[in-house]
């Protein structure tokens, strides 16, 4: 038995050990392989999606601010639609509520920021799912391998040697290692990308508020003028 295990390691190496667990081991290894490919795809994709220029096009907030200061609302809307992005979506949401006052504009932008944050979080959440599933798949392979090892003991009525037990246990632990190899990078990438999304969303909200500063100032000046007009004493009647 020891010679057979040594021969398997020498000839097939790692894959011979993995596939020695039978169809259950093969299925678990294939599952982990698929999870690793999906995780790699998500990480690479998000590296391109979560770029500052993709989320917040350079100069868009300043351009919209200048157009709003000049009262050119259609031009501001057109500038946003020409450069689709999360920031443009937030700005358009605010522009559509201009007729209803600053509070409506602010509420619309807050809702838009929350919606864009949820949209950006949606895909990176899958990395967290993969990071939790992969160790469980590896643990499943370990448990099934241990069952096979002790089944060998039962079949041989306790006469199985250490080499026979070591073969089953060794192949079982390989799936645990494979699960951890998939899980650790996935969870690490999830943490990094989540912090990246938090940073970009905070900057998007700030730029949107900055772009609407002329509207906010105009609303504040109107609001300050109304109480002054109400508090003005009535003019004396002519004699």
Please answer whether residues 94 and 213 qualify as being in contact, where contact means their C-beta atoms are separated by less than 8 angstroms: no
Low-confidence stretches of the chain (pLDDT < 70) are 1-22, 149, 152-154, 156-168, 171, 221-239
Torsion, Cα 89 95 100 106, to 10 degrees, reads: 50
| pLDDT for the residue numbered 111 | 95
Number of structural domains the chain divides into: 1
| pLDDT for the residue numbered 121 | 94
Distance CA 236, CA 223 (A): 27
Domain span holding position 175:
33-58+115-222
Angle made by CA atoms 192, 197, 201, in degrees to the nearest 5:
155
14 inside domain: no
Say if pTM beats, i.e. exceeds, 0.85: no
142 inside domain: yes
| CB within 8 Å of 90: residues ≥ 6 apart | 109, 112, 113, 116, 204, 205, 208
83 inside domain: no
**Neighbouring C-beta atoms of residue 218, cutoff 10 Å:** 14
Distance CA 46, CA 38 (A): 12
| pLDDT for the residue numbered 231 | 47
Distance CA 6, CA 222 (A): 86
| pLDDT for the residue numbered 57 | 93
194 inside domain: yes
25 inside domain: no
Identify the sign of the CA torsion 222, 227, 233, 238.
Answer: positive
- For 111-127, the pLDDT digits (tens) are 999 999 999 999 899 99
**Neighbouring C-beta atoms of residue 73, cutoff 10 Å:** 14
121 inside domain: yes
173 inside domain: yes
């Amino acid at each position: 038995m020891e010679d057979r295990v040594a021969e398997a390691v020498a000839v097939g190496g790692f894959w011979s050990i993995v596939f020695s667990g039978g169809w259950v081991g093969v299925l678990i290894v294939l599952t982990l392989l698929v999870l690793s490919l999906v995780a790699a795809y998500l990480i690479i994709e998000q590296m391109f999606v979560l770029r500052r220029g993709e989320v917040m096009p350079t100069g868009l907030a300043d351009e919209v601010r200048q157009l709003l200061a000049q009262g050119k609302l259609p031009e501001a809307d057109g500038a946003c639609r020409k450069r689709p992005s999360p920031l443009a979506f937030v700005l358009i949401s605010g522009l559509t509520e201009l007729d209803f006052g600053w509070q409506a504009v602010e509420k619309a932008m807050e809702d838009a920021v929350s919606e864009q944050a949820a949209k950006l979080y949606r895909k990176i959440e899958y990395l967290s799912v993969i990071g939790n599933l992969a160790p469980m798949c590896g643990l499943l392979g370990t448990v099934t391998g241990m069952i096979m090892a002790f089944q060998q003991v039962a079949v041989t009525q306790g006469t199985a040697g250490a080499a026979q037990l070591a073969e089953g246990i060794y192949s079982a632990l390989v799936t645990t290692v494979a699960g951890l190899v998939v899980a650790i990078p996935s969870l690490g990438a999830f943490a990094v990308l989540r912090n990246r999304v938090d940073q970009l969303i905070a900057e998007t909200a700030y730029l949107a508020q900055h772009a609407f500063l002329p509207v906010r100032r105009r609303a504040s000046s109107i609001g300050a003028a109304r109480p002054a007009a109400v508090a003005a004493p009535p003019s004396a009647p002519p004699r």
